[in-house]
Structure 1
Amino acid sequence: MGRTHRVGIIGLGVISGVYLETLTDVDDVIITAVADLDPARAEAVAVTLPHARALSVEELLAASDVDVVLNLTIPAAHAEIAEAAIRHGKDVFGEKPLTARLDDGVRVMAAADAAGVRVGCAPDTVLGTGIQTARALVDEGRIGRPLAATAVMATAGHERWHPNPDFYYAPGGGPLLDMGPYYVTSLVHLLGPVTAVIGAGSRLRAERVIGSGPRVGESVPVLIDSHVTGVLTHASGALSTLIMSFDSAATTAAPIEVHGEAGSLRVPDPNGFDGTCAVRQVGEGEWTDSEPLAGVVGAARGAGLVDMLRASGGRTARADGQLALHVLEVMTALLQSAESGCRVEIASTAERPALVPLTEGLAALQG
């Protein structure tokens, strides 16, 4: 590994706790600064970290002891923070989606290319043993040539548990832009890039009621489609059917299934890092579970940042900005198609990231 990577975190909401738990246990990563719109929150986090100090956002972006900005702000702020970090010559790794709007994502990636800095983006759950084992099974030919996939996420909505769910129902949120990155990114890992989409969307009601926290009972307006479905055409010719919903009580559907000429593959929840893959080949009567074949054992959020920091020898980070931009275009194209009723071609592309060898923990993840 060879060097220490100095990380500054902007945005200290709910998800930051998981990143902090991961990164404070990684020997070659040191958190040197934290910032939040609420200075008291930044101070409270900084005192728990041995090398960090609480700064304003502007101070952190300019800090000489921050090499990489971990951007955990709300989606509407992703582009602004990323561009500011790039202007200061810093690498950026952000929460998903890359940006709330496609044109913002294109601009962020162009700025990074011009500045010679790296951009990475969640989801990095795809680096765990769940999706990586599924990828290994596909690559080994266990189901033959892949022909189709289904991806289903159906819940009743995040307002039931999140104390401040407003952004889930505002532009940049919704089930597709919030949860879709896990599923679409996984589909690209499994089947390759997407060339066209067609979609449809709806919304069950005009407002949601917060179910927990200090704002319990308060209503939040729904400004986006809360149920989105569509078909993705992959460059390989495979077709993926996608259902992303905040309007469902529950589902018995597998999170992802991939179907090929010789069999079918059941894939675990891409919002987690592990889980069991199962294969049922043509003519067999039962599903057969697979042992983990690839991926980081015991991975957690922050794995993609660590992978980006350690990427060397010309290898692209497995959770890189170009993949996130492609996934963002696929999702925004689905919403565009849902509005227009027309098929939408995808202009961008992305390489399938390198398979992660079976690795016991982030400490052993190599560049």
Structure 2
Amino acid sequence: MNRVGIGIIGCGNISGAYLKAMTTEFPILDIRGLADLNSELAQSRAAEFGLVARSIDELLSDPQIEIILNLTVPKAHVAVAMQALEAGKHTYSEKPLGINFAEGKKLADSARSKGLRIGAAPDTFFGGGHQTARSLIDQGVIGLPVGGTATFMCPGHERWHPNPAFYYEVGGGPMLDMGPYYITDLVNLLGPVAKVAGFAITPRSERVITSEPRNGERIPVDVPTHVAGVMAFENGAVVQIGMSFDVAGHKHVPLEVYGTEGTLIVPDPNRFGGPVEYLKKGGQFEEQPLTLPYADGNFRSIGVADMAHAIRSDRPHRANGDLALHVLEVMEAFQTASEHGRTIEITTKVQRPAPLSDSLVDGRLAK
């Protein structure tokens, strides 16, 4: 196998999940070093996974590194990705692509001008649960898609995250934090979004951390923390969305898709697997078998592996920059719609990512 060299910048909370999957599931990925502004953090992660801690400059100048995996905080995503592009590297970022559409488009334009690839999480839509739901929709079992609901609501991440302040800074909030999972999966299931309407509110100006080690500390809130809206898709379907850090509890499932002939319950888009339920018109919900791969674990980093395989086989990668930019524009549009009291037209055009019906590697599992 002609492996692809990977350099990782950012060794915070999410890096553990990436590194676990990268080192056990996807042998095409050759991790050549980890870096973080906090060198002790990089060294700790490197020791945990038997890897090497290096400086950011060393990663960017290493000719054997082809992809920079950018796991920094959201407000640093574009700056770090631009550094990678300037160094001649492809780059793949944690979600979101950027903290606003303007900087995301600047990144996409720069990559295009340099002939380099960009990508971004989430890659959970690769999972067997979501690909099963997509296959059922594509087979026409629900008839003509009509609508759906997308719901993430919780009391806030200050309950569990050791350093939650960035969730309430510009670039955070429930829409930019959790919206990428839901909207990306909906584009996978239904295609691109055409129009958005919505309302965004900030009920509290500060939050109190209840997790350790900052228990009791008060942090300011600079972003809307409850967003409700509607997405009109190009295929005609209309989906309601609710994203909140202000809800004590609810009984909505994460994703439902409605059609003229039936309804699908889609797994949590923050997971790769989970039950897919189908109700035929006049019938009852029945769980569907998950026969597609990547449904039985946490495969975070599969998007990077797909990019690596795509580089080697000269094909488009699925979690690509066009998809991430489209999702970013949709998310920002809810705030714009709320501020201006009107429906917002989405300007970016994107193709549904190719289905993952077998594996990343032409009929063979990538392992």
CA separation in 2, counterparts of 1:258 and 1:350? 20
Residue number in structure 2 paired with 1:81? 80
SS at 1:54's partner residue? coil
CA separation in 1, counterparts of 2:3 and 2:317? 18
Q: Which deviations, in whole Å up to 9, do the C-alpha atoms of 1:81-126 show, x marking residues without a partner?
A: 0001001110111100001111111111111111111111100111
Q: 2:212 aligned with 1:213, yes or no?
A: yes
Unaligned runs of 5+ in 1: none
- Cα root mean square deviation, aligned: 1.9
Tell me if the contact between 1:130 and 1:270 (Cα under 8 Å) persists in the aligned partners.
no
Q: Which deviations, in whole Å up to 9, do the C-alpha atoms of 1:32-73 show, x marking residues without a partner?
A: 1111111111122223444x4322223322222321100000
CA gap of 1:293–1:144, structure 2 versus 1, over 3 A, is farther
Tell me if the contact between 1:163 and 1:211 (Cα under 8 Å) persists in the aligned partners.
no
SS at 2:270's partner residue? coil
Tell me if the contact between 1:296 and 1:360 (Cα under 8 Å) persists in the aligned partners.
no
SS at 1:342's partner residue? coil
Tell me if the contact between 2:129 and 2:295 (Cα under 8 Å) persists in the aligned partners.
no
Residue number in structure 2 paired with 1:288? 286
CA separation in 2, counterparts of 1:363 and 1:124? 20
The AA in structure 2 aligned to 1:66 is: I
Q: 2:191 aligned with 1:192, yes or no?
A: yes
SS at 2:63's partner residue? coil
CA separation in 2, counterparts of 1:59 and 1:28? 22
CA separation in 2, counterparts of 1:56 and 1:70? 14
Q: Would you say how many aligned residue pairs link Structure 1 and Structure 2?
A: 364
SS at 2:97's partner residue? coil
Q: Which deviations, in whole Å up to 9, do the C-alpha atoms of 1:151-202 show, x marking residues without a partner?
A: 0101111010001111111111100000000000011011110111011011
CA separation in 2, counterparts of 1:207 and 1:363? 51
CA separation in 2, counterparts of 1:17 and 1:130? 23
Residue number in structure 1 paired with 2:342? 342
- Which 10-residue stretch deviates more, 291-300 or 98-107? 291-300
TM superposition shift of 1:358? 4.2
The AA in structure 1 aligned to 2:34 is: V
Q: How does 1:111-122 map to 2 (within 5 A)?
A: 111-122=110-121
TM superposition shift of 1:295? 4.5
TM superposition shift of 1:130? 1.5
State the identity %.
43
CA separation in 1, counterparts of 2:6 and 2:120? 15
Tell me if the contact between 1:123 and 1:181 (Cα under 8 Å) persists in the aligned partners.
yes
Tell me if the contact between 1:75 and 1:173 (Cα under 8 Å) persists in the aligned partners.
yes
CA gap of 1:28–1:362, structure 2 versus 1, over 3 A, is farther
Tell me if the contact between 2:9 and 2:56 (Cα under 8 Å) persists in the aligned partners.
yes
Residue number in structure 2 paired with 1:14? 13
The AA in structure 2 aligned to 1:296 is: Y
Unaligned runs of 5+ in 2: none
Q: Which deviations, in whole Å up to 9, do the C-alpha atoms of 1:231-271 show, x marking residues without a partner?
A: 11111111111100111112211111111010111111000
SS at 2:42's partner residue? helix
TM superposition shift of 1:281? 1.2
SS at 1:33's partner residue? strand
